[in-house]
Amino acid sequence: MSGLDRLAALGVVVADADLASLTTYRFGGPARYLAEPPDRVQLQQVIEARAHEPVLVLGRGSNLVIADSGFDGLVIRLTGEFERIDIEDGVAVAGGAAWLPSVARQSVEAGRSGLEFFVGIPGSVGGAVRQNAGGHGSETRDWLESADLVDGGVSSAGPGELDLSYRHSNIRSDQVVIGARFRTEPGDVAVGRELIASIVRWRKEHQPPAVYNAGSVFRNPPEDSAGRIIDSLGLKGLSVGGARVSDKHANFFVASPDASAGDVYRLVQLIRDIVRERAGVELHPEIQFVGDFT
Ligand SMILES: Cc1cc2nc3c(=O)[nH]c(=O)nc-3n(C[C@H](O)[C@H](O)[C@H](O)COP(=O)(O)OP(=O)(O)OC[C@H]3O[C@@H](n4cnc5c(N)ncnc54)[C@H](O)[C@@H]3O)c2cc1C
């Protein structure tokens, strides 16, 4: 019996667990094992039991396409104490599972500014650090003081050490961001609330809501925007199975409730091929494909 099977027998880990409901696309197959540790003791227990099992650290699943066959490994999804957010002496201290829009709102209500952009990104602090998430003129690295990572031991690293750049970090798939500290600046609560409201309004007008998609599909090529290129080729509305290029934003691919991960995968390949052929631009996915798509 493997260490993870032992933890499954104890109820600490769930075997053959549903993942679809844990992602914004709402599709994809099961995980061989799912652990949802609420604290560091249990996280450590899971990591020690892991042996050589492949690992996926799952945040809010807002940047992922999980294969229809699922993930044949251990999924770690932080819960409990990792969802905490505290604003202490002008620093936002948040657990790896903290919800970014709440970090934005809590920081504003504490009279601090800088993190308002997080309100438009429906992910977790861990996902934002791993992806250097950004929008509305800010990126995670602009405000990150340090992140705490666990991969056996615990270490702390700043944005330079994590090599944060456009939707990139050097965080490995088996490293878990358990928390982060963000600097903030003094702010006016009313001004911060208005900024938050304007970001939310802008998102509603320009993007589909945060279900049945995973945000921007492709990274923007240098000095251009993937959405602009796809739109300029008249590809809004193009579909494969239940996946479709959004009419609101050409770099968002929306899924119908009966769509499969395979539909999104094939639509991504199709759009990439058309853009390469007609515009001479090579697009690279920003969304991450997890599992087997062959
Ligand atoms: C409607 C919509 C709008 C979006 N807008 C934006 C935007 O403006 N800007 C932007 O950058 N993104 C945007 N996104 C994409 C997504 O929200 C971000 O990439 C977000 O940072 C992902 O966080 P997550 O918790 O959902 O990560 P997941 O999707 O769960 O995972 C993404 C990656 O992060 C890793 N990861 C997650 N948690 C941890 C952790 N605790 N420790 C280590 N690794 C971890 C995963 O292993 C995976 O590699 C949008 C998505 C949607 C659906």
Q: Where are the domains of the chain?
A: 3-77, 81-206, 226-290
Reply yes or no on whether the pLDDT at 1 is more than 80: no
Distance 149 CA to ligand 1 centre (A): 17
Assigned architecture for domain 81-206: 2-Layer Sandwich (3.30)
Inter-CA distances, 100 with 50, 92, 150, Å: 28, 11, 20
**If you average pLDDT over every residue of the chain, what do you get?**
97
Q: Is the CB of 123 under 6 A from ligand 1?
A: yes
Residue-wise pLDDT tens digits, 202-258: 999 999 988 899 999 999 999 999 999 999 999 999 999 999 999 999 999 999 999
Q: Active-site residue among 112, 167, 203, 272?
A: 167
Q: What is the pTM of this model?
A: 0.97
Distance 12 CA to ligand 1 centre (A): 25
Reply yes or no on whether the pLDDT at 7 is more than 80: yes
Q: Cα–Cα distance between 167 and 192 in angstroms, integer?
A: 25
- Token digits for 142? 């602009």
Beta strands in 83-184 (DSSP E): 85-88, 91-95, 112-113, 134-135, 138-139, 144-150, 154-157, 176-183
Residue-wise pLDDT tens digits, 177-217: 999 999 999 999 999 999 999 999 999 999 998 889 999 99
116 is a catalytic site residue: no
Q: Is the CB of 73 under 6 A from ligand 1?
A: no
Average pLDDT over residues 38-58: 95
Asked if 3-77 and 226-290 have one fold, the answer is: no
Q: Is the CB of 54 under 6 A from ligand 1?
A: no
Whose alpha carbon is nearest atom 36 of ligand 1? 127
Q: Cα–Cα distance between 109 and 106 in angstroms, integer?
A: 5
Q: Is the CB of 179 under 6 A from ligand 1?
A: no
What is the CATH code for 3-77?
3.30.43.10
Residues 6+ apart with CB under 8 A from 104: 115, 116, 117, 118, 119, 196
Assigned architecture for domain 226-290: Alpha-Beta Complex (3.90)
Reply yes or no on whether the pLDDT at 157 is more than 80: yes
Between 12 and 180, residue with greater pLDDT: 180
